[in-house]
Amino acid sequence: MKARSLFVCLFILTAGWSRGAEPYAGTHRPVLHGRHWVAVTGKPAGAMAGARMFEKGGNAIDAACAMLAVVCTMHDDVGWGGETQALIYDPRTKQVIAINACGVAPTGATPDYFSQLGLKYPPGEGPLAAVTPGNPGGLMVMLAEFGTLSLRDVLEPAMQMADGYPIEAELVRKIENHAGKLRQWPYSAKVFFPHAGADREIPRAGEIWRQPDLLETLRKLVEAEAEALRAGKDRSAAIQAAYDRFYRGDLGAEFVRGSREQGGLHTLEDLANWKVKLEEPVTTHYKGIDVYKLNTWTQGPALLQALNLLEPIDLRSMGYNSARYVHTLYQVMNLAFADRDFYYGDPDFPPAEPIRGLLSKDYARERLRQLDWTRNDPDVRPGDPYPFEGRANPFLQLLTNWSNLKHSQPAADPPRSPAPGTGVAALRASELEEFDAAFRAGTTSIQAADQRGWVVSVTPSGGWLPACLAGRTGMGMSQRMQSFVLDAAENPFNVVTPGQRPRVTLTPTLALKEGKPFLCFSVQGGDTQDQNLLQFFLNIVEFGMTVTEACEAANLTSYQMRSSFGAHKCEPGRLTLNTEFPSWTRRELSRMGYRLEFHQKTSGPITAILIDQQHGTFWGGASNHGEDYGIAW
């Protein structure tokens, strides 16, 4: 690293207090102020990797790719075999580009296949849970198309860490928690239990932990790039050579072999035919701000639908987090997420999603008429967006019997017997804990921006622990198959089909004001992601919070939408509030029919960058829990 990097002002997010504007409490972490660049992600080492790329002269895309490589290597609830979703603002064209690097269902993954295994949904763990790997391809395509540095430069920090780094306590806890499952898979056991036969087989926090197979895979990618450069290829073509070695060469062959050896369905053709897609994002306009999300292969458009519903409402007059404000957000989110649960899926596969109707302002006005302003409605259902794009709805018959309230009834599931010595209450508590863990399942997020105008928001995921490693690649396979359904009556747009992408929860966000970048933000948290991001956005736009205040603010959580994981259950009427909510708000919400519970931390770690258009500077932030960190200069 250049000597001048020693003088970089490292605004690392550590404990401390900064004064917040009333009526909001002071923040636990300071704002990251930067003039030249900001890098924020799920781990301090990840943020440092981004800073190193900026110090090499790279742009925000180079930094984001380096951060992605490091958090995958650190298993920050994401692994190399997972998937990447991103939004990029290109200052050259003044356009927002969507990066679709989500894997697809492999050959043989059909409803009949999983039904014959006695499953109601595809499994959530192991080789049969895995779509094709997306993170390697997503990183390389973003770098080749929009970055400036070499693949060697960008992978160098991750390679150093794969060669050995002091493992952090959080990952050690995850290995301990999932030890039984990790031991099922031989390649996982070899990596996560380096002291086989000893009294303590897993690493201790601070111990140098090595991943030699992963290091060799990354070295081979860099070798492919170097060989192409020696052959006279340009930078982009050289990175493409590394891409080809993974998806069409020896690395892909080992990934497939390792998957199939352990019971997976992947074929060489699945990897060779998979491609990263550069797409046009979907957008809506909210009170002078253009908000961009990925298409219906994610849950992202639900946030845009919610904004359309909220735009005519005077939220400020309700008061921040008042009972009426909470009720409005809860009901609006339920309307939007009911549409998500029925109409969202991979737009490259039939039937065609009615996205124009779903994002129509007229449709939002029609849906808003269904909102009960006095009580919670536990049976909010999908609307009919088809007339708002001039089509007839072909699925009206399916909608007749579609109900989250019926879907949530325990009788719909096979009965479970309580373990000896436990009762029904204990079994219910166990099931609820399992539901919550899946519903709020974390990943990581990446935000980067620079003075040249590049801005990027990434929400990668998949391959989290317990991860089944694919042979000697060192890469944990995705668990995204579980987001499919097997029955078209639940969602005709998201039925598992070979080659199709599942509708994922992962949802980066960009917002522009007067055609210029204003906000980039995302969050970890499974089905809670767009709930958290909606509240973050409103905290800034409607209530004037700073970016850090908005990241740390008290959130609410609805469980009325169907979980994208496990048994796809829902909990109509259940509402989690932050412990900061006052007693009078609690009483009013209880009177309105909500089942309340309270936690000190009520969102996943939100990471964000606000672009200060007046001063030409950056404001970065991350929530006050988790290990998300940032650096600005």
pLDDT score at 426 = 53
Closest CA to 262 of 502, 5, 470: 470
Query: Rounded distance, CA 96 to CA 173, Å?
Result: 39
CA distances from 304 to 58, 339, 340, 511, 519 (A): 32, 12, 11, 11, 15
pLDDT score at 55 = 98
pLDDT score at 79 = 96
What is the dihedral sign for C-alpha 124, 125, 129, 134?
positive
pLDDT score at 298 = 98
CB 259 within 8 A of CB 266: yes
pLDDT score at 594 = 97
pLDDT score at 9 = 39
10 Å Cβ neighbour count for 396? 10
pLDDT score at 23 = 45
CB 79 within 8 A of CB 467: yes
Structure tokens at 506: 């992962």
Q: Is the peptide bond before 466 cis (omega within 30 degrees of 0)?
A: yes
Q: Determine phi and psi for 292, rounding to 5 degrees.
A: -115, 135
pLDDT score at 601 = 82
pLDDT digits (tens, 9 = 90+) for 431-449: 677 777 767 666 789 999 9
pLDDT score at 423 = 52
**Segments of the chain scoring below 70 in pLDDT:** 1-25, 409-431, 438, 440-442
What's this model's pTM, rounded to 2 decimal places? 0.93
Instruction: Decide the pairing of beta strands 95-101 and 277-279.
Output: antiparallel
pLDDT digits (tens, 9 = 90+) for 319-356: 999 999 999 999 999 999 999 999 999 999 999 999 99
Q: Determine phi and psi for 353, rounding to 5 degrees.
A: -65, 140
**Cα 238 from chain centroid?**
29
Non-local (6+) Cβ contacts of 266 within 8 A are 106, 107, 130, 132, 255, 256, 259, 260
pLDDT score at 600 = 86
Q: DSSP labels for 87-142? A: EEEETTTTEEEEEEE---PPTT--HHHHHHTT-SS--SSSGGG-----HHHHHHHH
